[in-house]
Amino acid sequence: MSDSILLGLSGSLRKNATNRKLLREAARLFAPGTYIEADLKLPLYDGDLEDAEGIPEVVQTLADQIAQAHAVIISTPEYNKGPSGVLKNALDWVSRTDGKPWMDKPLAVMSSAAGRAGGERAQMILRSYMVPFQPRILPGPEIHLSDSANEFEADGRLANDRYERNLQNLMQKLRAEAGI
Ligand SMILES: Cc1cc2nc3c(=O)[nH]c(=O)nc-3n(C[C@H](O)[C@H](O)[C@H](O)COP(=O)(O)O)c2cc1C
């Protein structure tokens, strides 16, 4: 299906985030289809804000993008052995929207981090964060990209064939899970 939609959520907001680069490489290997990168620059979850103003438009947009995507990929950095607050905040906000957008959604997760373990602990915690939302999360192959600053070429391509092969395998499984 060439009109399939793949949505990417990067747990790192910065423009040159290696997690963003990893997602874009995943999207390249997932192709054909449309790749959309979600905007996770959301207000901090605050029950008073929700009571006063309801679900912010940026949050509803994110929830709608998740609902409409054929498959979703999430890449998290590791901050002090856990996923980023940006990502947790986004998951918390989306859980406040109607319609259970994650339910049965084909989902692949990955991590990119400076440390030797490539964010393995952060990714395990991210997997446990997703349990209540009941997506169809792929068990593997697991992608823990270590020494992240040195693993991408200037054009954004993965420098190491081993990561590329595993990522290709993961994206093939994601397409199969999504039935596309
Ligand atoms: C607050 C903070 C905590 C960090 N803690 C870890 C860590 O526990 N493990 C690790 O491998 N890297 C850690 N790092 C380094 C990140 O892995 C590195 O900045 C990574 O490239 C971030 O992903 P990005 O390139 O997508 O922004 C930390 C960085 C920050 C800013």
User: Taking 70 as the threshold, does the pLDDT of residue 31 lie above it?
Assistant: yes
- CA distances (Å), 161 to each of 108, 152, 154, 166, in order? 19, 11, 16, 9
Q: Taking residues 155-167, what's their average pLDDT?
A: 96
Total domains in the fold of the chain:
1
Ligand 1 atom nearest 77 alpha carbon: 23
Task: Record the pTM.
Answer: 0.97
Angle between helices 120-130 and 85-95 (to 10 degrees): 10
**Residues 64-80, buried b or exposed e (16+ Cβ, 10 A)?**
ebbbebbbbbbbbbbbe
Q: What is the mean pLDDT of residues 101-122?
A: 98
Q: Categorize the per-residue pLDDT at 1 as very low, low, confident or very high, splitting at 50, 70 and 90.
A: low
pLDDT tens per residue, range 70-106: 999 999 999 999 999 999 999 999 999 999 999 999 9
Q: What's the confidence (pLDDT) of residue 2?
A: 62
Average pLDDT of the chain to the nearest whole number = 97
Whole-number percent of the chain with pLDDT over 90: 98
Quote the ligand 1 centre to 15 CA distance (angstroms). 15
Ligand 1: residues within 6 Å at CB?
12, 14, 17-19, 77-81, 112-115, 119, 148
Q: Quick check: 17 pLDDT over 70? A: yes
**Given ligand 1 and candidates 23, 25, 78, 88, which is best to mutate, with the most ligand atoms within 8 Å of its CB?**
78
pLDDT exceeds cutoff 90 at 13? yes
Domain ranges, residue 34: 5-178
CATH for 25 = 3.40.50.360
pLDDT at 144 over 90: yes
The rounded Å distance from CA 115 to ligand 1 centre is 7
Is pLDDT of 130 > 90?
Answer: yes
Centre of ligand 1 from the C-alpha of residue 113, in Å = 5
